[in-house]
Amino acid sequence: MGKPLPRVVIDTNVLMVSISRRSALYWLYAAFLEDKFLLCVTNAIMTEYAEIMTRHMGADFCDTVLDLIQSAPNTRLISPTYRFNLLLDPDDNKFVDCAIVANAVCIVSHDRDFRVLQTIDFPKVNIVDTRQFRALLLGVEA
């Protein structure tokens, strides 16, 4: 039995820019497709993914990506029953709640609003950017 896959929450903007094969961040989406980590989502996160992707990439593309995410063996649907409200932006709290309930190793985001998590000792939620996440997946220091 191998090492358990890290549980990860990915912010909408990071996921969206990683999907295109032409993106410098495509390695992240490819790592998901290759079962390198467990993607933890909630219904609210999936709804946000759908709204933003549809707006920027079109409904057909969005449907394809979301179907893939929902049917992937390395996707975990999380159902938080408590709202921690650790961030000022209520739209971002769904990612924090998911990460806490899923016992995720991190939230991958470039959103500065998540930085406040670095000052909160409990519950501890690690926030990393894509460079740090790549290092985590490769098992090296960022």
pLDDT of residue 139: 84
The C-alpha atoms of residue 93 and residue 113 are separated, in whole angstroms, by: 10
Per-residue model confidence (pLDDT) at position 84:
87
- Produce one character per residue of 33-51: b if its CB has 16 or more CB atoms within 10 Å, e if not: eeebbbbbbbeebeebbbe
Determine if residue 136 is left, alpha or beta; phi over 0 gives left, psi from -120 to 50 gives alpha, anything else beta.
alpha
* Domain ranges (residues) in the chain: 8-138
What tens digit of pLDDT does each residue of 11-62 get? 999 999 999 999 999 999 999 999 999 999 999 999 999 999 999 999 999 9
Evaluate whether the domain defined by 8-138 bears CATH number 3.40.50.1010: yes
